[in-house]
Amino acid sequence: MKAVVWQGPSKVDVQEVPDPKLLNPRDAIIKVSSTAICGSDLHLYDGYIPTFMPGDIFGHEFMGEVVELGPEARERRPDLKVGDRVIVPFPIACGACTPCQRGLTSLCENSNPNAGEAEKVMGHSPSGIFGYSHMLGGYPGGQAEYARVPFADVGPFKVDEDLSDDQVLFLTDVLPTGWMAADMCDIQSGDVVAVWGAGPVGQFACLAAQIMGAAKVIVIDRVPERLAMAAEHTGAHPLNYENTSVLKELRELTAGRGPDRVIDAVGMEAHTDVTAIHAYDKTKQVAKLSTERPHALREAILSVANGGTVSIVGVYGGLVDKFPIGSLMNRSVTVRTGQAHVHRYLPDLYRRIRSGEIDPTFIISHHLPLADAAHGFDIFKHKEQECTKVVLKP
């Protein structure tokens, strides 16, 4: 089959690789109909996630048709059949361990066979994730013609035929992620919410914050079409950080107190115009002395109101330098974070799409054949051709 394979920093290729096979009686094989490139893939693409290796297959946002189903998956989940059309949550979860039972599926204790490697970096391991490094399971991703899905009785979610791939694909990741970002803020009426990053995750975080009752949502980025998209589709107030001092402007918009809740939807490769900070972070990141360039996160922490909440869904890989812990501690700031517990949010968000309350398709700028994945990565990373989200069609 054909799959999108990493070749080293900024290099991807679509190559012929062996077809996946059922390895475990609870596995399924999915014939992929649509798969998307995520901001998280850019961290892999750029070479910042440890243990993602040349030759590894990308992709954790995918959906398609069940073409093979292991005997145990059939037995445990009689409603799932070969031929069913399903979406697949990006964290791999067993459904039975303590975190899975508590709805914390990105912390499943049974889906990362390489947990020991993750423990060296993080102390404890999160769940396995499709196409997201050996440290997180070494699973081939879904930017391919076929994908193996472990714990197929738990992950795959059946979707109605009358909903298009574009309507449901983002339930695998970026929609629940943006939703969880806002959910972790525990938004109270009257709250001002500021969101760093107007990529797909930031767009959905803005939308979710509005739906959850924020009095005002402010979105920060520098890409004009992304800011305009958030304003149009989520009602967020756009702030272009290239034209203004974000901290100052946020104070002015909040009578000096700062936003009550702040969301980091940028992650480890934040950009900044403040040359000294950028040079410092970039040098440390390139030298692998720090894995992150956390400029947006620092700014979010410094700007949040006293007693407020910092919700981090932007991905970080390891260690961070110059972290304003004093600001958090002295000002009673709550930090909440995580890879999205997709399984937990999926049924509710599916109903909201079904009913027409949410139409997540507005983020899509490009549909490309799988064969053009390299071009898709390039324009998504560099924000060229007003690229906001690429859906690949195998």
Task: Name the site residues for ligand NAD (rule: CB under 6 A).
Answer: 38-40, 42-43, 173-174, 177, 196-202, 220-223, 226, 241, 265-267, 270-272, 295-296, 313-315, 339-340
Phi then psi dihedrals of residue 146, to 5 deg: -140, 155
Q: Indicate the residue among 149 and 218 with the shorter CB distance to Zn ion.
A: 149
Report which of 46, 48, 20, 25 is spatially closest to residue 130, judged by C-alpha positions.
20
Residues in touch with Zn ion (CB under 5 A): 38, 40, 93-94, 97, 100, 108, 110, 173
Question: Could you tell me the smallest distance in angstroms from the CB atom of residue 339 to Zn ion?
Answer: 9
Q: Which does residue 2 touch among ligand NAD, Zn ion, none (CB within 5 to 8 A, set by kind)?
A: none
Q: Which residues contact 217 (CB under 8 A, 6 or more apart)?
A: 192, 193, 194, 195, 206, 209, 210, 234, 235, 236, 237
Contacts of 354 (CB under 8 A, 6+ apart): 160, 163
293: which strand partners? 269
- Out of ligand NAD, Zn ion, none, what residue 144 binds, judged by CB under 5 to 8 A for its kind, is none
Amino acid at 5: V
Distance CA 21, CA 103 (A): 29
Instruction: Indicate the residue among 135 and 315 with the shorter CB distance to ligand NAD.
Output: 315
Task: Choose among ligand NAD, Zn ion, none what residue 143 binds, the Cβ cut-off being 5 to 8 Å by kind.
Answer: none
**Nearer of residues 69 and 195 to ligand NAD, judged by Cβ:** 195
- What does 108 interact with, of ligand NAD, Zn ion, none (CB < 5 to 8 A by kind)? Zn ion
Least separation in angstroms between residue 25's CB and ligand NAD is 29
Residue 2 beta carbon to ligand NAD: minimum distance, rounded to whole angstroms: 24
Among all residues, whose Cβ is closest to Zn ion?
Answer: 38
**Could you give the C-alpha distances from 134 to 24, 54, 102, 358, 366, in angstroms and in order?**
19, 11, 26, 35, 29
User: Of ligand NAD, Zn ion, none, which one does residue 313 interact with (CB within 5 to 8 Å by kind)?
Assistant: ligand NAD
222 or 352, CB closer to ligand NAD? 222
Q: Which amino acid is at 81?
A: K
CB of 4 or CB of 315, closer to ligand NAD:
315
Three-class SS state of 312: strand
3 state SS of 285: helix
What residue type is 346 in one-letter code?
L
SS3 231: helix
Which two three-digit tokens encode residue 155?
Answer: 């992950």
Distance between first and last Cα of the chain? 10
Q: Nearest distance from residue 236's CB to ligand NAD, in Å?
A: 13
In the complex, the smallest distance separating the C-beta of residue 83 from Zn ion, rounded to whole angstroms, is: 27
Partner whose binding site includes residue 100, from ligand NAD, Zn ion, none (CB under 5 to 8 Å by kind): Zn ion
Q: Report the residue number, 199 or 308, with the smaller CB distance to Zn ion.
A: 199
314 binds, among ligand NAD, Zn ion, none (CB under 5 to 8 A by kind): ligand NAD
Which of 65/225 has CB closer to ligand NAD?
Answer: 225
- Smallest gap from Cβ 105 to Zn ion, in A, equals 7
Q: How far is the CB of 75 from ligand NAD (least distance, A)?
A: 31
- Cα–Cα dist 225/380, whole Å: 13
Beta carbon nearer to ligand NAD, 240 or 334: 240
Rounded (10°) CA dihedral 15, 373, 343, 126: 70
266 binds, among ligand NAD, Zn ion, none (CB under 5 to 8 A by kind): ligand NAD
- The closest alpha carbon to 335, from 367, 360, 309, 315, belongs to 309
Radius of gyration of the chain (CA): 20
In the complex, least distance from residue 16 CB atom to Zn ion, rounded to whole angstroms? 25
